Structure formats: structure tokens, C-alpha cells
Structure 1
Amino acid sequence: MNPITFAIYITSLFWLNLSDAKIGYFWHITDLHYDPFHNSPEFHRGCKHNRGNNDHNHRNGRHRDHTCDSSWLLIQSAVAFMAGRHPETLEFVLWTGDILSSSMEHLSDETKLEAVRNVTDLLGRTFSSQFVFPALGHNDPPPSKKLIEMWMQWLPSDALQTFEIGGYYTIEHSYSKLRIVVLNSVLWAGGAVKTEGPHKGRAQWEWLEQVLSKARRKKELVYLVAHAGPGVEERHNAGSSSAAGGGELTPTANSNLVRIIKAFSDVIVGQFYGHRHTDTFRLMYSDGQPVSWALLAPSITPRGAGSISNPGLRLYKFDTNNGKVLDYTQFYLDVTNKKGELHWAVEYNLTQYYNLREINAASLDALSKKIRNYNDRTFLNKYLTALHVRHSTDVLDCDATCVHVHYCAIVHAEFHEFRACVRNPASALASRAPNLSSAILLYAILFLISSKRY
């Protein structure tokens, strides 16, 4: 076969593979932090502000700004927008926890469940022909009969059995080899050890390995879904008690999850998490090669503890034959717009925004290296703009030390590896910015000293 004929043959195979793909879509929404008392000044706990200063209460006349959790109006607007962009090939919705505002922590279980029911009913009415797969966050009620009654419209009996035991379950996609595994990350977070007991966390580990082993035998491919995933947020001290208590995984749980993901990287074709209120991604490596990736979606709530973002919604495009993620579109709402309008808009499209030919561990690894390149800030500025959903000063303020910490967080899911990366930044950046190596080293020392305070 001559070279021209061979090239035509290869091209025809490429387009044949594209034509064989069955395109589907799914939404990912997370961290609503719904505050039912948003408009009641006497109960308005979901806002962070100075006492006696109520200026934020009526900003834009909408009770919407970056000091408050989500009002019912904001949640309704998000779901209405999703309904308006409701493709015929929409397969399901991932709903990854922290449904309720942390301001509801001390309220009764009945009050919390009623708030969850309100959001459940709204999603049920909007997506009456699709399944919604919920994952529990650390602000949410624990598994219960009443919670099961709400969500049994979406979950089959075998999924409800494990959900009742520990808040985790698995779903087999009806006409493909895709399996969705929804984890309860609360069982692996710092606060859960005291409240839930360690036995439920151990049971989930055993169950997860059994599910993944069975998927491998049946040649199924898996999406891992949870509220919090592996790795550390760059603004947190990796493995500190404060990070774990806020819903992050404990160091032991994090390490165990990373180990399992690496062991089953041939089976796991996607990981989808929330919790951090930011738009980012994480990579896992084996023998120096990227083998798995995780995409973290930003929150609906504009409020965050140090990571304020505009509200975000994400619509994924995937091949329903094999679960391969093909793209996603990120939508956002600028809550500080002067007109006070609830106007959701396209923020970016992943493959176009970052110039990716496909989404896999290798392509995201290459992207991480472009983000790290301080001498050419093209991709760095794109990443920092998206990180807080177009509400960030990091684009202007992020110097070489800041860039290095972001890079460490992306490529080192293990807590100890992240700390080691931050501790030894000179080796990573000295060749790129030799004049900054001393400043970077000083930053690492200060970071490590601060981490010992917790």
C-alpha cells in the first residue's frame, strides 16, 4: 500500500470511529449550599458579613453577592437555565452534594430534610425523563429512610440498599458498558471518624474494590463520582486537621483512594467531584506516566471560605458507547452585574479554550506543563480566569511561587507528594526563572511553617 493510499485509509478509519460514536450529554451541578432563610434577616446566617452591616442584604435587589450562600431564587434560576438547554440526548444529571448551607448545621433534621426535599422536587420536575444521581456532601443529612423515599425515583432497589448502609451506590448504564459509582466521601473525611465510626468507611473501601473488580471482569468502564475527591486544594495545608474537618479526605483515606484509582486506571474513564468551589483538575501517575484524571466542577453558591467564585454549571458531552468524555461547556452567572439580572452565559468550551484534541490523562498532563510555564502565561491566565469562574484577582497577582503551588496541586494527589513539591520548588522553576529561585524557596519555608500550626 503506497503512502497516499495508507493516509486515506487511516483518515477513513478516523471518521468511521467518529461516526460510530453515540453522543450523549450529562449535567454536573454541585455545592448549592441552599439557605432557606436567605430573605429572613433574623435567620440570615448564610452570609459572611460584619454585624450591624446589612448593606449586602439588598445588593442588586436580589440578595445575591459573594458574601451569601444560595437563595431559592438563585437555585431556581440555575435549574431553569438547565431546563432551557435540555438536549434530547441528555442522559442523566450528577448532583455532587453540599446541598445545604453550613448555616443550617444546628437546625433540626426535619428542617434540613424539608430543604433537601424542595431541591429534590425542583430537579424531579425539571428532569422528569432523566435520572439524577445524588452524592452526599459534608453539609448534608446522613442516609435515612426519608432521604431514600425522596431519591427512590432515581435509584433502583439494589442501589438504595447500599445507600441506606453508607450513602454510596452504583448504577449500570442501561444500554452501554458504562457504570457510575457514587461514593460517600463524608465517610473518609476527618469529621466522619468521630460521628459515623470507622467501620462504615472500611465497608465502603471493600465495596469499591469489589465493584471495580467486577467491572473489570465484565469489561465495563466506570465513572467515579463523589462530593470530595483525592488531592489537596492549593489554599489548604495538605493533610492538616483543618482541611480534613472541612470535608477533605483524611491523609490515609486520600492515599488509599489514589492507590485504588491507579490500580484500576484501565477501568476508570472519568472522575467527577465538587467540594472545592473551583474549576480545576487533578492528575494521578504510575511510574511517572499519567494514568488517570479528575475534573472538579465549580459551585452554585457564590460564597466560599477563601475561594469565592461566580456560580457555575457544567454540561458534559460524551460517547455513550464507552463513556469517553469528549468535551464540556462551562456556564456561569456574574452575580455582581450592575443590572442585577440572573443572566447565565457560556464561560468557555474545554477543548477550544485549552486547545485540546481530546480529553485524557496525557493531554491534561501536557496542559498542566503549559500552565506551569511562567514565561508564557497564555494557558496560566486561562486557567486562573476559569479557576474562580471569572471572579479572581489571581490572574494579576499570581507570581512564580503561586504558579508553582497551583502546579503541585494539579499533579500531586498524594498529600506528602504535594508538600514535597512545594518544599522543593527551586528544582522545578530555577531553570525557568533563576532570579526568583530564592523567593520561591522562602515561600516554601513559610508554607511549611504555617502548616505546622494546625
Structure 2
Amino acid sequence: MFLTVFLCVTEADIGHFWHLTDLHLDYTYGGKAESCHNEVTPSQRGMFGSGLCDAPWALINSSVYAMKEIAPDVDFIIWTGDNIFHPRAKTGVLSMDIVLNTLDNITRLLREVFPDVTTYPTFGNHDYFPYAQFPSHDNKIYRHMEITWGVWVNDSNFRKTFRKGGYYSSSIRPGLRLISLNTNMYYTRNRLSLNFTDSDDPAGQFEWFNDTLAAAVRNKEKVIVIAHISPGLKGYEGFLWMYKPFNDMLNRVISRYMESGVIRAMHVGHDHDDEFKIYYDNKGIPRIPVFIAPSVTPWRYKTDQLEFGRSHNPGIRLVSYDRFNGRHLNIIQYYLDLDKANKDSHAQWQLLYKATDVYDIPDVSARSLSNARELMLDSSKKHVQDYYERLTLMGDTSKIDDKCQYSIYCGMRYFDVPGFNKCLDKYYSLAFRPVASSFVIIIVTVIISVLF
């Protein structure tokens, strides 16, 4: 007697979505250019921007039309905020109306270019007036954008949560859900957050996030999380963007659902760089990838005394994923050679890399990216050097040192300062760490967060 066994192998139903972030439109670029650093003269402002200025409309327009040309039939778009420019003057340049008009104009552009594609937006810390002061209650910007963005979002509770705190959830397709968090409420420049104690939950977002993930588990859904500001430390600089209590609470909610596998990935912006991080569970198993997408604006942050920014080119990102279970398959990064575009008076967006090719991995799951992370400790520094150059979209190709190598490696895994410092202690002396002490972390955080 023979027993015949049939093995059913299901092929992935591959879909794509775009990630657009940190456009920072400077509507004054053709005039006073309020975002440009003082040393930039009008003759140095190219048609598509300058590395020391925020984006002109020509750059933003070309980025969205490039998305349409490269991959017009995407399933959806995620748009993770920061659309208002960095004003050189701190007063009198921006207003509530300017913020709303800018958000409306970019919303209109996306609808015109992708009329049949849902865009899932979230606020950036610059998308408010006064800057970064996102409240935990109903206000003019929440109400206005709830009407403007509500036509995109397929969720009956959108109005309730969005007006309360600028966050929401929506079903992408059966079995796959998107959660959009407003992490700007936890930002170190948000003075309103100082009114909360360590145990408070502004706008009830932590409780809602926990309940939404629990419901997704019960309903056998997978989740993609988007936000503007990432939990954890900024890249290899090693400081927190969020107030520590809020960073800790957000990490606790995420950690609570690691083993369930409900969160497929997290996508954020804010840093302007191209980076990834990985959540590991208590057993050291990689669980959730966090993708930090590079900005459209080429602006770099600096002061008269200090320059933290690195030259970088504008970027747009295409993500491939399995529609059936939300598993992320690839990151496909495009960029614009800004100098060439300005010289030619023509924006030619081009492929920079495919993650599976440059890391020689089968997909961009947490486990695969963890393997890629281990390559960052190679003695020749080739892998980490390549990563650094991609981080700036080939804007900065300067050679990195041991400190930078180890900081990149540790920053990919640890979402808290003690964990980051402990990791660095394995590789070089406490005295030589770039941001080893809490004092230095505080000083650097204050300086950079003023600019971002």
C-alpha cells in the first residue's frame, strides 16, 4: 500500500508600496530662501536644491513624479511627515496657515499623481505651529487634516483617535493592518510633554496602541507600524529623540508583542539618513525590523560653531512585501544626484541599491537584517563603509574609523542608552566613546533637536 503525500507550497503574492518622508518644502526658495544657511548665495541655489537649503517645489514635484514613473501601480504610499522647512529665522517666518497650506499642497500633489492609490500619512515634528508642540487633545491642525486625510483612511474610529492625538489605524487589506503613531508628542523639543509624569499616557496613545495590537493578534492580522520619530537611539550618534520615559513605554508595548510576530515592520523618518535597526527579544532573537528612510530634502543640520550634518542626496524608497502575510521582501532605494541634476537642469532619479543584493540576504526580515548587521564588524570595514555611504545616498564617502564602526553596530540593536553604552564597552574604552557619558548625550541631543 502506497501513501501519496501532497505538499502545498504557496507562492508569495508580491506587492509594493512607496515610502516618502521629510520633504521640508521651502516655499521661499526662489526669494529669501528662509531655510538656507547664511553662507549660501542665490547663485549657489540650484534648480533642484542645495545641500545647505531645504527643498524647492521643483525637487518635491520631481520626487513624486519619479515615483509614478518608476512604480505607478503600488498598493499604497506611506508618508511619514516633516513637510515644513527649517526656518533660519526663529520667529515671524511660519504660521498656522502656512503649515496647513503646505500640507494641503503636498496632499493635493499626491492625489493628482496617484489618484487611485491610498496614502497613509503621519505628522512630523515640523508639521505643527508652533514648531513641535503637538498637543494631546483636539486642535485646529488635527481637525483640518482629519478632513483632508480622512478620505484615504478606511477606519470607522479614525476621526476619534486622530482628533484626540493625531494617530489612527486602518485595514490595508484583509489580514494586514497599518498603525500610524504620533510619536511627536514624545519628542524632546515638545515642551507640552513636560507637563506629564513618567507614568502618563499623552492622548491615551500607548493604551490604544496596546489594545490595537491585541485586537490584531485576536483577529489574526499582521501589522505595519509607521511614525515620524523612531524609538531608540539615533543611528550611531547614540542619543534619544524622545523623552526617556516615553521611549521606555513605547518599547515596552512593542516588546510585549514581539513573540506573537504581529508587527511585521516599522517605518519612520526624521533622521534624514538611510538606516535600519532591529528589535531583539530577551533571548537575543531578532524580531522586528525598523526602517529609517532618507529624506527628500538635501538640507543638513549645522550651526556656526558645529556641523553635525553630512552632505547627502535626496531619496525615495520602494518596498516589496508579501501581500498575504505582510512579510517584507526588499528595500529598493532610489536617489537623485543633486549636483548633476542642477548642472543638467533635469532630475534623473536612479536606483541606488536593492537590500537583498547589497547584503546577500533572501529578504529584509529581522533575522536576515541581523545577519547583515554582523557583517558590520568585519576587520576591513568594507561592509560598514558601504553602509555609511548608502546612509547619505552617496553624498558623503569619507572614511570611517573604529568608533564609527562600533557605534553603527551597537546603534542597530539597542533602543536604550545603557544598552548602547554597554555594547560599546565591549569594543573600546569608555573614555574614547563619541557620546559615552550622559552629559554629552544631553548636550548633543539639545543642540541637534533644536535644528530638527
TM bracket, shorter-chain basis: 0.7 to 0.9
8 A contact 1:212–1:264 mirrored in 2: yes
1:23 aligns to 2:14 (yes or no): yes
Aligned to 1:144: 142
1:354 aligns to 2:325 (yes or no): no
Aligned to 2:159: 160
| 1:401 equivalent among 396, 403, 426 | 403
8 A contact 2:264–2:326 mirrored in 1: yes
Per-residue deviation at 1:96?
Answer: 0.1
Aligned with 1:327: secondary structure? strand
1:120 aligns to 2:123 (yes or no): no
Question: Once the two structures are superposed, what CA deviation does each residue of 1:113-135 show, in whole Å capped at 9, x if it has no partner?
Answer: 11111111001111110111111
Aligned to 2:69: 84
- Quickly say closer, same or farther: Cα 1:441–1:190, change in 2 above 3 A: closer
| 1:290 equivalent among 277, 286, 289 | 286
Amino acid of the structure 2 residue aligned with 1:28: H
8 A contact 2:238–2:411 mirrored in 1: no
Aligned to 2:331: 328
Amino acid of the structure 1 residue aligned with 2:57: W
Amino acid of the structure 1 residue aligned with 2:357: Q
Aligned to 2:271: 276
Amino acid of the structure 1 residue aligned with 2:123: L
Question: Once the two structures are superposed, what CA deviation does each residue of 1:93-124 show, in whole Å capped at 9, x if it has no partner?
Answer: 00001011122974221121111111110011
Aligned with 1:17: secondary structure? coil
Q: How does 1:48-447 map to 2 (within 5 A)?
A: 48-50=37-39, 54=41, 57-59=42-44, 61-62=46-47, 64-88=49-73, 90-103=74-87, 106=91, 107-141=94-128, 143-156=141-154, 157-174=156-173, 176-194=174-192, 198=196, 201=202, 203-234=204-235, 236-239=237-240, 248-265=241-258, 266-286=261-281, 287-305=283-301, 306-308=308-310, 309-337=312-340, 338-373=343-378, 375-394=379-398, 396=399, 398-422=400-424, 424=425, 427-428=426-427, 441-444=430-433, 447=436
Aligned with 2:339: secondary structure? coil
- Quickly say closer, same or farther: Cα 1:322–1:196, change in 2 above 3 A: farther
Query: After TM superposition, which residue ranges in structure 1, 4 or more long, deviate above 6 angstroms?
Result: none
8 A contact 2:322–2:329 mirrored in 1: yes
Amino acid of the structure 1 residue aligned with 2:298: P
Aligned with 1:173: secondary structure? strand
Per-residue deviation at 1:207?
Answer: 0.5
8 A contact 1:238–1:419 mirrored in 2: no
Per-residue deviation at 1:196?
Answer: 9.0
- Quickly say closer, same or farther: Cα 1:23–1:235, change in 2 above 3 A: closer
- Quickly say closer, same or farther: Cα 1:293–1:69, change in 2 above 3 A: same
- Quickly say closer, same or farther: Cα 1:108–1:351, change in 2 above 3 A: same
Question: Once the two structures are superposed, what CA deviation does each residue of 1:211-249 show, in whole Å capped at 9, x if it has no partner?
Answer: 00111111111111000111211464524xxxxxxxx22
Moved more, 362-371 or 67-76: 362-371
Amino acid of the structure 2 residue aligned with 1:94: I
Per-residue deviation at 1:58?
Answer: 2.9
Amino acid of the structure 2 residue aligned with 1:363: S
Amino acid of the structure 2 residue aligned with 1:76: N
8 A contact 2:188–2:243 mirrored in 1: yes
2: CA distance, partners of 1:177 / 1:445:
44
Per-residue deviation at 1:71?
Answer: 0.5
Aligned to 2:131: none
1: CA distance, partners of 2:142 / 2:435:
45
- TM-score computed with the length of structure 2 as normaliser: 0.85
8 A contact 2:142–2:165 mirrored in 1: no
Amino acid of the structure 2 residue aligned with 1:223: I
8 A contact 2:165–2:203 mirrored in 1: no
2: CA distance, partners of 1:446 / 1:225:
28
2: CA distance, partners of 1:117 / 1:321:
33
- Quickly say closer, same or farther: Cα 1:285–1:342, change in 2 above 3 A: same
- Quickly say closer, same or farther: Cα 1:113–1:421, change in 2 above 3 A: same
1:450 aligns to 2:450 (yes or no): no
2: CA distance, partners of 1:255 / 1:218:
27
Per-residue deviation at 1:86?
Answer: 3.0
8 A contact 2:331–2:364 mirrored in 1: no
- Quickly say closer, same or farther: Cα 1:105–1:356, change in 2 above 3 A: farther
Per-residue deviation at 1:197?
Answer: 5.2
- Quickly say closer, same or farther: Cα 1:353–1:371, change in 2 above 3 A: same
- Quickly say closer, same or farther: Cα 1:193–1:212, change in 2 above 3 A: farther
1: CA distance, partners of 2:90 / 2:110:
23
2: CA distance, partners of 1:408 / 1:391:
23
- Quickly say closer, same or farther: Cα 1:26–1:167, change in 2 above 3 A: same
Amino acid of the structure 1 residue aligned with 2:267: F
Aligned with 2:206: secondary structure? helix
Question: Once the two structures are superposed, what CA deviation does each residue of 1:356-401 show, in whole Å capped at 9, x if it has no partner?
Answer: 112222211111110122x13332222111111111134x2x1111
Question: Once the two structures are superposed, what CA deviation does each residue of 1:319-350 show, in whole Å capped at 9, x if it has no partner?
Answer: 11111111121000111224343111000111
8 A contact 2:206–2:253 mirrored in 1: no
Q: Which runs of 5+ in 2 are unaligned?
A: 129-133, 135-140, 302-307, 447-452
Amino acid of the structure 2 residue aligned with 1:451: I
1: CA distance, partners of 2:203 / 2:112:
36
8 A contact 1:408–1:418 mirrored in 2: yes
Aligned with 2:412: secondary structure? helix
Per-residue deviation at 1:452?
Answer: 5.7
1: CA distance, partners of 2:264 / 2:365:
9
- Quickly say closer, same or farther: Cα 1:82–1:232, change in 2 above 3 A: same
8 A contact 2:279–2:286 mirrored in 1: yes
Amino acid of the structure 1 residue aligned with 2:68: A
2: CA distance, partners of 1:178 / 1:320:
8
2: CA distance, partners of 1:117 / 1:29:
16
Equivalenced residue count is 413
Aligned to 2:305: none
